[in-house]
Amino acid sequence: MTESVFARGLGRKTAFLCVVMTFVCFGCDVPAALGQEHGEPTKVILDTDPGTDDALAMLLAFNSPELHVEAITVVAGNMTADAGFENALKIASLAGRCDVPVAKGAIRPLLQELNTGKFWNGANGLGGAELPPAKCKAGAAFAPDLIIELVHKYPHQITLIPVGPLTNIAIAVAKDPAIVPLVKEVVLMGGGITGGNVTAVAEYNIHSDPEAASIVFNAGWPITMVGLDVTEITLVTDEDVARLESKPGPETTFAAAVARFQIGTYQGTGIFHGGAVHDAMAVGQVIDRTILKTQDMRVDIETDGKFTRGMTVANRKNAIERNVPEGDHLQSMGLEAVEPNVHVAVGADSRKFVDMLIGRISGK
C-alpha cells in the first residue's frame, strides 16, 4: 500500500512509536458499531467454499440484523466449485434467503492444484447433514464480476468476508483494481501467527492459494485476519449443540448436525476438546467488534519456502533491522519501521462468540 490506513495522518514520531510499541486493542481500531452508526445494516459479501464452518457462517450472517448479505460468492476450496455452489444454494434455501444472489467463481487456485477437504467437512461438505434440493436459483454471474459490480454499486459500503481460499477476491482485484479503495474493509478467515493446520505453519485457506492471498494482503485495503490463533481456541461443545436441538427447526437441526460432525472430527484428532467453527468467527467479527482483540502487524504471505509455503508471516514488532554494506560484509545500523497492513486477531471472548452463534441460529 502506498499510504497505509494505519499510518495515514501519523507524524514521524508517532510512526517511530509504532516500532517500539505494538497496538493491542479490543476493537479500538474500528468503531464498535461500524456501519451501524445510523442504524443501517452493514452490506457484506460472503465469499465461501461450503464447507461445514462455511455453512454456519452463512446461517449466522443470514440471521443477524446487523448485516445485509448482498451476495454469496463461491470459490473452490473445501469442495469443488460446483459442489460448493450447490451447497451454498441449499443453505440459502434452508434460510429462506433466495433473495440473495449466489454466484460461482474460480474453479481452482491461481497456480496450484485444488486441495479439497473431505476429512474436515465430510463427503458432502456439510458433515453428512442432508439438505433438500435447493429452491434458490443459481446466479449466472461469475463471482469476481459480481463482487466488482456490487462494490461499484455501493462504494465504500461493502465489507468483504472471504472464508475460503482467496482466489475470487484476487481475481476481482486483478480484473478491476479500482475496487480496492471502494471496499469498506476485508474481514477474512485465514492464516495464523502461531502455527498452521495444513502444515506446521500454514492455514488451509491461505495454503490453498498463496498467490491469491498475497494479492489480497498487498492490495492496500483495510484487512482483519481472523486466523487459527482465535478460531482454534473458540470451540463449540456438546452443550452448545444441545441448545440448538432444544429449539427444533430446519436451521437448528441442520446446524446441530454440522456442529456435531465438527466436534467429532476435531476431538478425533486428539488435539481439540470441541469443534472449531473457524469461518463463522469472521462473520462474528463484523457483527460485534468486542469479541476479538486485534493487533496491527505487517503480514506477508510466503509463496516459496521449503517448509513454509502459505504461511502468514507476521512482523509483531513492525520493524526490521537496517543493514548497510561495510567493506566485505553488512553492518547493522538499527531498526527501521515496516507499515502494518493487517489487524490480526490475537485474542477472543470465545464464550461470547459461541453464545451469539447459537443464539442467532436458534432465533433467540
Figure out which of the listed residues 30, 79, 163, 356 binds Ca ion, where binding follows CB under 5 A.
163
Nine cell digits for residue 177: 483494481
Task: Give me the catalytic one of 152, 278, 329, 343.
Answer: 278
Sign of the torsion formed by the C-alpha atoms of 305, 308, 314 and 316:
negative
Compare residues 16 and 272 and give the one whose CB is closer to Ca ion: 272
Task: List all residues 6 or more positions away from 230 whose beta carbon is below 8 Å from its beta carbon.
Answer: 281, 292, 345, 346, 347, 348, 350
272-291 residues near Ca ion, rule: CB under 5 A: 279
Shortest distance (Å) from residue 80 CB to Ca ion = 14
Task: List all residues 6 or more positions away from 118 whose beta carbon is below 8 Å from its beta carbon.
Answer: none
CA 336 to chain centre: 30
7-66 residues near Ca ion, rule: CB under 5 A: 49, 51, 54
Residue 309: CB atoms within 10 A of its CB come to 18
Compare residues 235 and 319 and give the one whose CB is closer to Ca ion: 235
Compare residues 18 and 228 and give the one whose CB is closer to Ca ion: 228
Shortest distance (Å) from residue 12 CB to Ca ion = 41
Q: How far is CA 131 from CA 34, 139, 142, 255, in A?
A: 34, 20, 25, 11
Active site residue 278: yes
Residue 319 in 3-state DSSP? strand
Shortest distance (Å) from residue 168 CB to Ca ion = 12
Shortest distance (Å) from residue 86 CB to Ca ion = 15
Figure out which of the listed residues 164, 165, 191, 310 binds Ca ion, where binding follows CB under 5 A.
164
Site string for Ca ion, 63-102 (x = CB under 5 A): ----------------------------------------
Q: Are 72 and 150 in contact (CB under 8 A)?
A: no
The values of phi and psi at residue 307, to 5°, are -115, -5
Active site residues per annotation: 278
User: What residues line the site for Ca ion (CB under 5 A)?
Assistant: 49, 51, 54, 163-164, 279
